[in-house]
């Protein structure tokens, strides 16, 4: 045997290891794992996978509520019946019940993926919700509010710009809160959104018009003055009057609060982030944009989400189809 071969040769006598792994299982069985432990493992997996903090928090909240409400300890105690009992004891709207069920189902599916369940028995648990047609913001509502705002005042200029930006690009309010000057291409009149500020983590390009370019330009210049005055070091496009970022968390966004206030004060029911995005999507559809482009602009993961998002009622569908007869 050459010297080189001898380096990789094991000459010592070793024990027979064949029986050591007979009882080995990559994943603990349901009876061996508590719901609490499973939740901790899955939340950790989600953190490592880059899931958003809000999503992780929702898992923790709703799964813990289910466990405590039904007085369950182990995964194997979760049954079709226990899920129905949990839903039946909720004194909430059908939509809220559906949202909580979706979160629990997602958790259980992750448990299945980890090998802790042999079947997805929860798949047939359903909550029926009447899908009311949700309206989007209209050009008229946008014009009314913009005419009422004083663009010589910084806060109202900021609010007007955010309103117009969401309506003309379909941007989410969460993305807007994290928008920085580096994302704005004034020469190309294009928003170059990096994946880190987009919900689905996919980079996005959104064009904007000359009016929005002027609003953004004035706002960016005014932001510099405010940051210098209050000695703030950031490059966010939308800041408070003291130079700080407008959002401190998913549920604490100054822009969203201001839009809600304007809607109440001026009686404009469709002035909110979701209605602005929906108005953007419906406007594109009416102008002839195809569903695939609308879906990409909204940052949706697939077309089924977009079709539900548009909430087209039967009269709108009939009207759209008539153009092709």
Angle between helices 139-148 and 154-169 (to 10 degrees): 170
109 burial type by CB count under 10 A (0-12 exposed, 13-18 middle, 19+ buried):
middle
Answer yes or no: is pLDDT of 6 > 60: no
**pLDDT: which is higher, 30 or 120:** 120
- pLDDT value of residue 272: 92
Structural domains of the chain in order of their starting residue, each with its CATH number: 30-124 (1.10.150.130), 139-322 (1.10.443.10)
Q: Work out the number of other CB atoms within 10 angstroms of the CB of residue 299.
A: 20
What confidence tens digit (pLDDT) does each residue in 88-135 have? 899 888 888 999 999 999 999 999 999 999 999 999 998 887 666 677
- From the CB of residue 144, how many other CB atoms can be counted at a distance below 10 Å? 14
Angle subtended at Cα 206 by Cα 300 and Cα 220, rounded to the nearest 5 degrees? 125
What angle is formed at CA 283 by the lines to CA 277 and CA 286, rounded to 5 degrees?
145
* Per-residue DSSP letter, 180: B
Mean pLDDT of all residues in 249-255? 77
Q: Tell me the longest C-alpha to C-alpha distance in the chain.
A: 91
Reference 171, options 297, 260, 307, 294; nearest CA is 297
Give the mean model confidence (pLDDT) for residues 10-14: 50
Distance CA 54, CA 46 (A): 11
Side-chain half-sphere exposure of 149, counting CA atoms within 13 A: 24
pLDDT at 50 over 70: yes
SS3 315: helix
Give the Cα separation of 37 and 29 in Å (integer): 12
Q: Using CA atoms, how far apart are residues 197 and 172, in angstroms rounded to an integer?
A: 10
Q: Return the ∠ at Cα 189 (arms to 200 and 307), rounded to 5°.
A: 40
The pLDDT, as a whole number, for residue 320 is 62
d(CA 88, CA 67): 15
Tell whether the model's pLDDT for residue 263 goes beyond 70. Answer: yes
Please state the separation of Cα 155 from the chain's center in Å: 26
What pLDDT does residue 128 have? Answer: 83
Question: What is the 3-class SS of 182-215, one letter each residue?
Answer: HHEECCCCEEEECHHHCCCCCCEEEECCHHHHHH
Residues 213, 162: Cα–Cα separation, whole Å: 12
pLDDT, position 302:
74
Mean pLDDT of the chain, nearest integer: 85
């Amino acid at each position: 045997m050459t010297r080189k071969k001898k380096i990789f040769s094991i000459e010592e006598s070793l024990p027979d290891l064949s029986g050591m792994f007979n009882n080995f299982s990559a994943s603990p069985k349901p009876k061996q794992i508590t719901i609490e432990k499973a939740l901790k493992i899955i939340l950790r997996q989600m953190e490592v996978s880059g899931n958003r903090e809000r999503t992780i928090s929702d898992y923790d909240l709703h799964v813990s509520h289910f466990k405590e409400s039904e007085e369950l300890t182990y995964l194997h105690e979760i049954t079709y019946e226990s899920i129905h009992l949990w839903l039946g004891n909720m004194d909430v709207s059908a939509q809220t019940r559906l949202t909580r069920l979706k979160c629990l189902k997602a958790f259980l599916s992750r448990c299945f993926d980890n090998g802790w369940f042999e079947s997805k028995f929860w798949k047939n648990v359903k909550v029926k919700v009447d899908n009311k047609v949700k309206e989007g913001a209209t050009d008229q509502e946008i014009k009314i509010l913009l005419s009422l705002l004083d663009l010589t005042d910084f806060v109202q200029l900021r609010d007007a710009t955010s309103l117009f930006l969401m309506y003309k690009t379909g941007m989410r309010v969460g993305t807007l809160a994290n928008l920085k000057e580096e994302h704005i291409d004034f020469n190309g009149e294009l928003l170059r959104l990096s994946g880190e500020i987009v919900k689905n983590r996919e980079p996005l390009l959104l064009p904007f018009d000359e009016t929005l370019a002027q609003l953004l330009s004035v706002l960016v210049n005014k932001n510099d003055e405010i940051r210098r005055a209050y000695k703030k070091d950031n490059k966010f496009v939308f800041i408070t009057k003291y130079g700080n970022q407008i959002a401190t968390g998913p549920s604490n966004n100054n822009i969203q609060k201001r839009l809600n206030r304007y809607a109440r004060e001026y009686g404009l029911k469709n002035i909110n982030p979701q209605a602005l995005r929906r108005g953007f999507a419906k406007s594109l559809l009416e102008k002839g944009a195809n569903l695939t482009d609308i879906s990409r602009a909204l940052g949706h993961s697939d077309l089924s989400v977009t079709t539900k998002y548009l909430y087209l009622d039967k009269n709108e569908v009939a009207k759209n189809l008539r153009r092709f007869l």
